[in-house]
Amino acid sequence: MPTYDYQCDNCGDKFEEFQAITAEPVSICKLCGNGPVKRLISGGAGFVLQGGGWYKDGYGDKAPAKTETKPSEHKPADPAKATETKTYKKD
């Protein structure tokens, strides 16, 4: 059930009412007992996912995966030095 915001025209009090969508709107102020009372338009509470494994966009972590490279796996800056040639003698 949604929560609706109301404001009294008589005293200016703002209050919330938790009621079914099919329920009649409130017409009497809870503070002063008079009216009229108007239902206000609100932005709502929104939808929030909390806890591990939940992401707002549904696609997972945006941070790039951290990979460690060993010093022997680093590529040389000069492409000419990157190729290694081995010569084998045939018996």
pLDDT in tens, 21-80: 899 999 999 899 988 999 998 766 666 666 666 666 666 655 655 666 565 555 656 655
DSSP lists the bridge partners of residue 86 as none
Q: Tell me the two tokens of residue 8.
A: 């009294």
At residue 10, φ and ψ (nearest 5 deg) are -80, -55
pLDDT tens digit string along 30-47? Answer: 899 988 999 998 766 666
Residue predicted with more confidence, 7 or 53 = 7
**Global model pTM greater than 0.75:** no
Is residue 2 pLDDT above 90, yes or no? no
Residue that is written with structure tokens 């680093």 in the block: 74
